[in-house]
């Protein structure tokens, strides 16, 4: 049997704000960490040995469940339609879609013409053959349908290489443009693309124009963002008349624009001002602007004339009860995605007579979203609907006839009956009397007597809303007697912009306390009981996992912390890391603000590990992850081993071939899901056929 892994200590002390940070494992972060992300073979041999020992220890501890894991993998795979395709999206004489062929990990991209002749334009299975990891940032055809540009990341580091092919001949037009972000924008002239490059610290700071077929070293710099806190990206207006460049951080945005035929002459649309956010598009000779100006915290829509972009007038007036999320402008229709009472609605506005109506569903909780489309002069929009117990359905919606046209419902080959499950949305009282939305779903035969194990998922950062959507994977737990719950805690935007702001900066602890309130509610109402909950969260949700494991270990049987952001003090003091500077508005400026430093240090998971019992813990990471770097979870688990006073299982799973999002193939990824589920089932003693 493998011994518990042990990492060498080498104390580092940082004196700051009349305080100290003590880190006995800081040495494992290499000075040339950027090179490790691109090439993991450059990892320090001592650290590599330790990580391998952790992976081997995990395998040893779960060895007797290997057969069950394989069975669970097949079960998860059985809910995925092996030969599947997306609903085609019309673009002129062609319709574009993707398709999975039998036993494939990656999709093919295809199109058919008006004679229904099918053509494979890109096969990711062929392109990925020589790589253990293969992630497509984007696949984008030119407006004349002759060329295809695509971005590929082959190790998980999110450094994408961009290539361009001629569709009919598969001839490479531009072989490779390195270190891009994965975004591609085609010029309407079909001979130029716009892309964003990454600097040495993985920050998207430059927009280039590339003439296809030319040497990338000759590409023209269109825009450079000099502020390390701001990330930039290009887009083409709906009218195809303007190039837009968006730059911003988590609370401020700014757009630059130019007529597309004169894209080098770019100018600012509205100068950045701290905490002012706006998003723009152009159509029908107007600029449409989603913005939070004039105390419009939950956003409104303004319009501006092309000849006077500084004069904005309201198009969709501000309503504090409506959170405006996104919009699309067509020739005859304005389409707005908004959230009302925690649920998404789609508002349709006729641009000829200005009549309005909206699309909504009557379920207690659901996810509704707009899907992308190519055509401008159309009455059709595409929408996607699902709920936690209802598979995803794609509709085309005719705005003129106000009619939904069913296009596809997600198939579950092994079978699924929504009537076998119960799903509800409840409101939970927080520590300060706020009401937290909590989604709960379970099999109708599960007894709510407090004995059921429960998986509670949470995130709560960056204003990201956790959708109440369908995931077939969860039923491997639910069908074995688990209750599944999603806590819509502060830090997200489930209840609007204030819900986000009350879970960031000096309000961050509300995120953690909301999650604990949800856990206590679930115990009090007999969905489960104290010490019978498994908490799950990833990335910034891993920060949440770290806090609750330090402060309320009594509530939780287990913690699943995926690529967890747990070493927040050291990370936010290191301005060379990719995200640190741009994330200061989210967490606070530890370097310049003593109060921010004290507050962050008081909840930082890594800095608050203590001598106590900890829940069972599965911690995951990706060796090439540029967002939450490999040393964060590695240091954390080493420190947890130093301090924990129990015999509970604590294991690290470091993916040595991937980054932040884990395995890239649709079936390879299921191995990671199976791992988390056998961990949950093992510690809850629910292992069953």
How long a stretch of residues is the chain?
689
Separation CA 447–CA 172 (nearest Å): 60
- Burial of 444: CB neighbours in 10 Å, binned 0-12, 13-18, 19+: exposed
Interatomic CA distance for residues 594 and 602, integer angstroms: 12
Please give the Cα distance from 132 to 125 (Å, whole number).
12
Is 39 an annotated catalytic residue?
A: no
Annotated catalytic residue within 660, 661, 664, 684: 660
Alpha carbon distance 260, 242 (integer Å): 5
Other Cβ atoms within 10 Å of 212 Cβ, number: 18
Is the CB of residue 102 less than 8 Å from the CB of residue 83?
yes
- Measured between alpha carbons, how far is 483 from 497 in angstroms, rounded to an integer? 30
The angle that helices 66-77 and 668-683 make with each other, rounded to 10 degrees, is 120
In the 3-class helix/strand/coil scheme, how is 365-384 assigned residue by residue?
Answer: CCEEEECCCCCCCCCEEEEE
Torsion of CA 671, 538, 462, 346, to 10 degrees: 40
Scored b (16 or more CB within 10 A) or e, 560-585 reads bbbbbbbbbbbbbbeeebbbbbbbbb
DSSP, res 581: G
Burial track 93-126 (b if 16+ CB lie within 10 A, e otherwise): ebbbbbbbeeebbbbbbbbeeeeeeeeebbbbbe
Residue 110: its H or E element: strand 108-113
CA 68 to chain centre: 30
Buried b (16+ CB within 10 A) or exposed e, 285-315: ebbbbbbbbeebebbbbbbbeeeebeebeeb
Quickly list DSSP for 125-139.
HHHTTT-S--EEEEE
Give the span between the Cα atoms of 430 and 418, in whole angstroms.
31
| DSSP single-letter state for residue 86 | P
Active site annotation includes 539: yes
Closest CA to 44 of 21, 25, 23: 25
Residue 636 carries which DSSP code?
Answer: H
Q: Measured between alpha carbons, how far is 402 from 383 in angstroms, rounded to an integer?
A: 13
Cα within 13 Å of Cα(462), Cβ side: 13
Instruction: Sort 129 into a burial class: Cβ within 10 Å, 0-12 / 13-18 / 19+.
Output: exposed
What b/e readout covers 408-437, taking b as 16+ CB neighbours within 10 angstroms? eebebeeebeeeebebebbebebeeebebb
The partner residues of 560 in beta bridges, in order of sequence, read 536, 618
625 catalytically annotated: yes
Residue 276, sorted as left (phi over 0), alpha (psi -120 to 50) or beta, turns out to be beta
The active-site residue, picked from 625, 653, 657, 668, is 625
Residues recognised as catalytic: 539, 625, 660
């Amino acid at each position: 049997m493998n011994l518990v892994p042990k990492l060498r200590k080498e104390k580092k002390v940082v004196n700051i704000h009349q305080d100290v940070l003590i880190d006995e494992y800081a040495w494992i972060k290499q000075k040339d960490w950027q090179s490790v992300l691109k090439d993991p073979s450059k990892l320090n041999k001592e650290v590599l040995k330790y990580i391998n020992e952790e992976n081997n220890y995990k395998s040893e501890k779960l060895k007797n469940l290997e057969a069950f894991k394989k069975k669970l993998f097949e079960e998860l795979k059985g809910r995925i339609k092996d030969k599947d395709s997306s609903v085609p999206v019309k673009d002129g004489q062609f319709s574009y879609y993707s398709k999975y062929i039998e036993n494939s990990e990656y999709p093919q991209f295809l199109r058919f013409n008006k004679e229904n002749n099918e053509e494979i334009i890109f096969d990711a299975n062929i392109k990925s053959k020589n790589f253990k990891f293969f992630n497509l940032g984007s696949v984008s055809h030119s407006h004349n349908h002759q060329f295809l540009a695509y971005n590929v990341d082959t190790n998980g580091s999110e450094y994408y290489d961009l290539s361009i092919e001629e569709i009919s001949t598969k001839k490479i037009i531009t072989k490779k443009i390195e270190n891009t972000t994965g975004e591609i924008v085609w010029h309407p002239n079909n001979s130029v693309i716009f892309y964003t490059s990454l600097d040495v610290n993985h920050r998207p700071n430059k927009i280039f124009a590339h003439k296809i077929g030319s040497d990338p070293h000759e590409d023209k710099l269109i825009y450079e963002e000099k502020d390390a806190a701001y990330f930039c990206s290009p887009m083409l207006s709906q009218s195809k008349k303007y190039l837009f460049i968006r730059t911003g951080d988590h609370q401020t945005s700014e757009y630059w624009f130019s007529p597309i035929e004169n894209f080098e002459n770019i100018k600012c649309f509205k100068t950045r001002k701290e905490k002012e956010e706006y998003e723009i598009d152009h159509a029908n000779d107007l600029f449409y602007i989603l913005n939070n100006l004039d105390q419009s915290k939950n956003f409104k829509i303004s319009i501006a004339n092309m000849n006077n972009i500084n004069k904005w007038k309201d198009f969709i007036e501000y309503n504090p009860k409506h959170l405006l999320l996104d919009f699309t402008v067509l020739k005859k229709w304005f389409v707005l995605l908004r959230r009302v009472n925690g649920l998404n609605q789609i508002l349709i506005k006729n641009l000829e007579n200005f009549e309005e109506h909206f699309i909504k569903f009557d379920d207690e909780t659901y996810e509704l979203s707009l899907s992308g489309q190519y055509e401008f002069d159309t009455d059709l929009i595409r929408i996607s609907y699902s709920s936690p117990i209802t598979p995803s359905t794609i509709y085309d919606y005719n705005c003129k006839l106000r009619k939904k046209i069913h296009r596809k419902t997600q198939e579950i080959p092994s079978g699924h009956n929504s009537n076998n499950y119960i799903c509800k949305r409840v409101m939970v009282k927080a520590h300060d009397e706020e009401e937290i939305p909590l989604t709960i779903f379970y099999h109708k035969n599960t007894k709510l007597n407090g004995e059921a194990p429960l998986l509670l998922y949470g995130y709560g950062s960056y204003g990201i809303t956790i959708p109440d959507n369908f995931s077939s994977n969860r039923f491997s737990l639910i069908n074995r007697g688990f209750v599944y719950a999603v806590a819509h805690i502060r830090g997200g935007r489930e209840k609007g912009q204030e819900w986000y702001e009350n879970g960031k900066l000096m309000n961050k602890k509300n995120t953690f306390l909301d999650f604990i309130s949800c856990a206590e509610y679930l115990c009090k109402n007999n969905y489960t009981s104290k010490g019978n909950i498994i908490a799950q969260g990833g990335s910034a949700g891993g920060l949440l996992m770290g806090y609750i494991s330090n402060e309320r270990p009594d509530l939780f049987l287990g913690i699943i912390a995926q690529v967890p952001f747990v070493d927040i003090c050291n990370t936010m003091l290191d301005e060379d890391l990719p995200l640190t500077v741009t994330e200061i508005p989210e967490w606070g400026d530890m370097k310049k603000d003593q109060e921010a430093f004290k507050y962050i240090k008081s909840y930082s998971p890594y800095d608050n590990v203590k001598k106590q019992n900890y829940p069972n813990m599965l911690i995951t990471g990706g060796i090439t992850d540029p967002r939450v770097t490999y040393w964060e979870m590695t240091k954390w688990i080493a420190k947890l081993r130093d301090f924990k006073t129990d015999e509970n299982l604590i294991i690290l799973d470091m993916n040595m071939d991937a980054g932040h999002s884990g395995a890239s193939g649709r079936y390879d990824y299921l191995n990671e899901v199976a791992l988390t589920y056998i961990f949950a089932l093992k510690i809850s003693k629910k292992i069953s056929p």
